[in-house]
A and B are shown apart, each in its own frame.
Chain A
Amino acid sequence: DTGVSQNPRHKITKRGQNVTFRCDPISEHNRLYWYRQTLGQGPEFLTYFQNEAQLEKSRLLSDRFSAERPKGSFSTLEIQRTEQGDSAMYLCASSRIERGDEQFFGPGTRLTVL
């Protein structure tokens, strides 16, 4: 049973550039989540998919952020016109409805905006 994978693991970009991250969930999981975590903080929710439908978006997700999950499998998170404040760890998690709907996380993508 492979876990959640995320690519790339690290991304360094210049302010104003666009970046895209990919998340591959655990294969039988139909729910997928994106979180952002900055140093010394707990993760902050960004958005959530059930299958291919994006069911919830945080107010933190400005119009520079977009997420997709075509065909209900992998997901991408794109940040346009990156800003230094976007520097963070971007975590992806997946879950399925059973027990507590526990979310299992990938290793994260660390974004540094110069």
Chain B
Amino acid sequence: AQKITQTQPGMFVQEKEAVTLDCTYDTSDQSYGLFWYKQPSSGEMIFLIYQGSYDEQNATEGRYSLNFQKARKSANLVISASQLGDSAMYFCAMREGPLFNAGNNRKLIWGLGTSLAVNP
């Protein structure tokens, strides 16, 4: 079963509007982390935002915010005031297990991504 599900293969948004990219996850761990990354056509994976499972407030980083609904196991990315440079693939990823676990489960588990196109 998929641990990270991104149901939107492609999304379009008008410049300056907000857009929400969906992500649902599946884990039995109580402690985990959720991440969003952006991958432009150049190929580099760019870290955007992080949400810990015990964080009480939704994470925000500039124009990016994460709508974390723990009971529903969803971690949607909201991009406000879209810009042309936001056009890229967006990946949701999860790290299972406690943050300070030095052994296994440091890896990120990834979704298939959502391709976002921002129209002028």
Chain A interfacial positions (CB closer than 8 Å to B): 31, 33, 35, 40-45, 48, 50, 55-56, 58, 89, 91, 93, 97, 99-108, 110
Q: Is the beta-carbon distance between B50 and A43 smaller than 8 angstroms?
A: no
Q: Is the beta-carbon distance between B50 and A100 smaller than 8 angstroms?
A: yes
* A31 CB contacts on chain B under 8 angstroms: 106
* A100 CB contacts on chain B under 8 angstroms: 33, 35, 50-52, 95, 99
Chain B interfacial positions (CB closer than 8 Å to A): 4, 33, 35, 37, 42-47, 50-52, 91, 93, 95, 99-100, 102-113
For the complex, give the distance between the alpha carbons of A101 and B97 in Å: 12
Q: Report which of A35, A42, A103 forms a contact with B113, defined as CB distance below 8 A.
A: A42
B7 to chain A, nearest CB (A): 14
For the complex, give the distance between the alpha carbons of A91 and B45 in Å: 9
Q: Is the beta-carbon distance between A97 and B107 smaller than 8 angstroms?
A: no
For the complex, give the distance between the alpha carbons of A91 and B100 in Å: 23
Question: A110 and B104 in contact (CB under 8 A), knowing A42-B93, A99-B50, A101-B99?
Answer: no
Q: Is the beta-carbon distance between A45 and B99 smaller than 8 angstroms?
A: no
Q: Is the beta-carbon distance between A102 and B50 smaller than 8 angstroms?
A: yes
* A41 CB contacts on chain B under 8 angstroms: 112
Q: Report which of B44, B99, B111 forms a contact with A97, defined as CB distance below 8 A.
A: B99
**Complex A-B: 12 CB contacts under 8 Å:** A35-B108, A45-B109, A48-B106, A48-B107, A50-B102, A56-B103, A56-B104, A99-B50, A101-B95, A101-B99, A105-B37, A107-B44
